Chains A and B, each alone.
Chain A
Amino acid sequence: MSKRFLNGSEWAAMILAGAERLSRNAERVNALNVFPVPDGDTGTNMNLTMTAGVAELTNKPSDEVGRAAEVLSKGLLMGARGNSGVILSQLFRGFSRALSGERELDVPLFANGLQQGVDTAYKAVAKPVEGTILTVAREAARHGVLISRRTTDLAEWMQEVHAKALETLARTQEMLPVLKQVGVVDSGGQGLVYLYEGFVDFLQGGADTADLVRQQPAAPAAAPVPAQGAAAKAQSKLATESIAFPYDMEFFIQRISSAAPFPERTFRQALERDGDSVILIQDDDIIKVHVHSRRPGDVMNLALTYGEITHIHILNMQEQHRELLQPESQPIAAAPEALRPMDQADGLGLEAATGIPHVEYGTEGVTASPESEPNPDVYEMASYGVVAVSVGDGNAELFRSLGVDIVISGGQSMNPSTEDLLGAVSSLSTHHVFLLPNNPNIIMAAKQAAELADKQVTVIPTKTIPQGLAAMLAFQENDSEAANVERMNKALERVVTGQVTQAVRDTTMDGLQIKEGHFIGIQDKTIVVSAPTQAEACRELLTNLLASGGDMVTVLTGEDADAQETEELEAWLEQQFPDVEVEVHEGGQPLYPYLFAVEA
């Protein structure tokens, strides 16, 4: 198949082929995890990011390639999670700018798109590191531009771009010492190569995509474009089974005013036990609830015990994805978009971005909503809102006790998307929101959310939960933004973070021999301790952390921590460092039995 031009639908089909290839290999990308801790989520993040983009693209098809690229770019921006996901979204953001207004894509335009994508991504990254997805993208784009005068055949050109990407990927080991140490190539770069591989296959009319098209039952004559079938199939493979909590629920609980105080914490915990993306906003007698759940009936029954339920939206996200497969059928959820009252649009702003229509049930009985009748106290006093990402019930509770309005569940190996962050930011009534990512891999998504938000958002680049707590402690509601930024950033410098976890493979890192199953102690970013037992690792790490001073140690115990071991550790600390104040809290984080914060 020799092709010189792609229209919007064909281009979309190519993207889907790439996304599908990436999806199938997501676990392999995860496995390239260079850190001997269980945070291998690059593949998952890139896959989820791509899935969000593809969902948007499938939902809003266009024959114009410029328009299609714009739609994909928007979906990727909203769905971006993890650093590789954010970089991916930036690559396509630049790409879509290059294609703006174009009906068809040819080789020179494709090359230009890749190049602009690289330029955009480099600008978005504060400190670009060579030997990563950025390098792979750059070398491939440069080569693509170079050879764009030699050929007009898209398949031939893409094949060369892919080859260059693959060659560069192999060299990432030489560029990034950490990769060489462990003996792998960069995971983000590998993800990009898979994406390009899918493009090549599609352009060559490869088996994979052809199969997908053929498998599509009764090749939908009614479908808008032939490629749509392939697109939707890939989409379903990518997304449907990845939705663990398929029912997206939103409703209000109208409290009976004489009732006892609303037990927000208990309710939240109950929702989080079998759901995610929990957002609770209480305003006088109305509580706005948002949750993704597996059992909407259970959630409703529980909510009923606290008051009258009004304003109910329930959306089956899995069904939604299946419907995308079958544009010719008219399932129940297709129509209600029109029935949906204008003033009820996108309560939390979460759905607006996905383009997924709402199913709306009766809205009678709504007497007031937090937006229309704000609690005057809230408006008068709270000039800032605060959103923090954290993991573990105990840690979330600590953040709330320090004044964080919304705690988004997420962290190592489960990065929230830009959209998740944006949703939380939008749901607050304040015009200015501080955002604490509390993880190095969420900082970029947070910055992206800040850019996309329609209100002022200040990202404090906190890399750990202890840093986030320190920043929150420094936060002063009554002070200016500039003063708070300075204060909070200073607070980060005063805290040293220690993390204890179990190594998931044998390796040599930072000059330490690490054995699978051993416990490692990480000081900020560096592994400083490896010991056969958890207790030893804790003690050695704390000794390291306190070597350069510090008079306050906070211990956050993880879900795998042992109560007796914690007590022994506390006693040991008091004996070894009598002048140091020690506080122990149940953090409840997975994977890390102990987090330490040492403050001077």
Chain B
Amino acid sequence: MASIALVTDSTADISQEVRDKLGISMVPLKVSFGEETFLDNITLQPAQFYQKLTAFTAGLPKTSTPSPADFYEVFKKLTDEGRSVISVHLSSSLSGTYQAALIAQSMLEGEGDVTVIDSKSASYGYGNQVVAAAEMAQTGASKEEIIDEIHRLRGEMQLYFMVDTLEYLQKGGRIGKASAVLGSLLNIKPILSIDDDGSIFPVEKVRGTKRAMARITEMVATHFQGAPVDVTVAVTPGYTSGVAEMAEMLKNQLNIKRYLEAEIGPVVGTHAGPGTIGLFVTPAR
């Protein structure tokens, strides 16, 4: 067992399988449909979530952050085993999760080594940081090396996502009012990204899904200029039309070393909406 343990929360959208394989601990956020509350990516999986979301008529589901106690429990157990903890979380601009983890760290009162990192990203946009860190921990890398790598990956990542409608981001308060083109009569697919502060910002508005995908691919291809890259495409199960086409475009225009498709989980999905497609590209490791 590696001496360094990785902790994250459920919005990294790392699958159960990968978490088990790499020994990543995950603290879930919660999502509630009325009175019914679920643990994100644990008691409610993405595929079920989008079905429920479509059927739910009483507004949008509510999401909530884990409590500091939830984190404390995990940190306590890992540090009691004598391990150093690196805990990476959803952008603090978008959620209080990072704050809860920080409070949990202070609750340890100096007992045990816990480093809490604000990923300044969301979904697999930091899931990939956590996965890379866990792989390094397994091969015996030092805490400093791992933390450096997390920051490097964030710095060099090209992140774009396209939503079917800005309505979900707007209703959840995750994007500025003035940036939203709401109720637009034209078939607009907004392309968004997350800035260095971890806030969502609109990049471009493109008409039609196909053209939006082509535009994202073009921007990423222009950035990397044929250098080898790792690509993750995050999708919402049940709303994946056109994703195969996008994969094809990416393969044609990028020098891909590793390609992965991830699922956008319930909490992120509540704020981004069905039909969201995320593209996370980093230089190949």
Contacts and interface: CB of A to CB of B under 8 A. Distances in A.
A69 interface: no
A510 interface: no
A551 interface: yes
B18 interface: no
Given A478-B176, A478-B179, A551-B211, A401 B185 contact: yes
A473 interface: yes
B181 A398 contact: no
Contact of A381 (B177, B186, B188, B203): B177
B222 interface: no
B185 A398 contact: yes
Contacts of A551: 210-211
A552 B184 contact: no
A383 B178 CA distance: 9
Interface in B129-187: 176-179, 181, 183-187
Interface in B188-213: 188, 201-208, 210-211
B159 to A, nearest CB: 17
B176 A401 contact: no
Contacts of A222: none
Given A398-B185, A398-B186, A551-B211, A476 B177 contact: no
A426 B282 CA distance: 47
Interface string A394-428: 00011001110000000000000000000000000
A111 B20 CA distance: 91
B201 A402 contact: no
B201 A473 contact: no
A454 interface: no
A552 B178 contact: no
Contacts of B181: 401-403
B205 A473 contact: yes
A403 to B, nearest CB: 6
Nearest to A487: B204
A476 B181 CA distance: 10
A381 B207 contact: no
Contacts of A403: 181
Interface in A542-590: 551-552, 554, 581, 583, 585
B187 A473 contact: no
A381 B202 CA distance: 14
A476 B201 CA distance: 10
A599 B188 CA distance: 14
A364 interface: no
Nearest to A585: B185
A377 interface: yes
A64 to B, nearest CB: 49
A287 B202 CA distance: 30
Given A474-B204, A476-B202, A476-B204, A402 B178 contact: no
A283 interface: no
Most chain-B Cβ atoms within 10 A of its Cβ — which of A401, A469, A585?
Answer: A401
Interface bracket on A: 20 to 34
Interface residues of B, number: 21
Given A478-B176, A552-B211, A473 B188 contact: yes
A302 interface: no
A477 B178 CA distance: 7
Given A478-B202, A552-B207, A402 B186 contact: yes
Contacts of A401: 181, 183-186
A397 B185 CA distance: 8
Given A476-B202, A478-B176, A478-B179, A581 B185 contact: no
A582 to B, nearest CB: 10
B218 to A, nearest CB: 13
Contacts of B178: 381-383, 477-478
Contacts of B211: 551-552, 581
Interface string A474-505: 10111000000000000000000000000000
A478 B175 CA distance: 11
Contacts of A477: 176, 178-179, 202
A554 B186 contact: yes
Nearest to A476: B202
Given A552-B207, A552-B211, A583 B176 contact: no
A468 to B, nearest CB: 12
Contacts of B186: 398, 401-402, 469, 473, 554, 583, 585
A381 B186 CA distance: 23
Contacts of A377: 177
A577 to B, nearest CB: 14
A401 B188 CA distance: 11
A383 B179 CA distance: 11
Contacts of B207: 473, 552, 554, 581, 583, 599
Given A552-B208, A581-B210, A478 B201 contact: yes
B37 to A, nearest CB: 31
A401 B181 CA distance: 7
Contacts of A583: 186-187, 207
B173 to A, nearest CB: 12
Nearest to B214: A551
Contacts of A382: 178
Nearest to A397: B185
Most chain-A Cβ atoms within 10 A of its Cβ — which of B185, B202, B211?
Answer: B185
Contacts of B204: 474, 476
Nearest to B210: A581
A470 to B, nearest CB: 9
A382 B177 CA distance: 9
Contacts of B188: 473
B176 A381 contact: yes
B274 to A, nearest CB: 21
Interface string A343-383: 00000000000000000000000000000000001000111
A135 to B, nearest CB: 43
Most chain-A Cβ atoms within 10 A of its Cβ — which of B177, B186, B210?
Answer: B186
A583 B208 CA distance: 10
Contacts of B205: 473-474
A479 to B, nearest CB: 9
A402 B206 CA distance: 12
Nearest to B177: A381
A581 B184 contact: no
Interface string B203-238: 111111011000000000000000000000000000
Most chain-B Cβ atoms within 10 A of its Cβ — which of A469, A473, A474?
Answer: A473
Nearest to A600: B211
20 contacts: A381-B178, A381-B179, A383-B178, A397-B185, A398-B186, A401-B183, A401-B185, A403-B181, A476-B202, A476-B203, A477-B202, A551-B210, A552-B211, A554-B186, A581-B187, A581-B208, A581-B210, A583-B186, A585-B185, A599-B207
Given A477-B176, A477-B178, A478-B176, 15 more contacts: A381-B176, A381-B178, A398-B185, A401-B183, A401-B184, A402-B184, A473-B188, A476-B203, A477-B202, A478-B179, A478-B201, A581-B211, A583-B187, A583-B207, A585-B185
CB-CB nearest 10 A-B residue pairs:
A381-B178, A401-B184, A401-B185, A581-B208, A477-B178, A382-B178, A473-B205, A381-B177, A398-B185, A477-B179
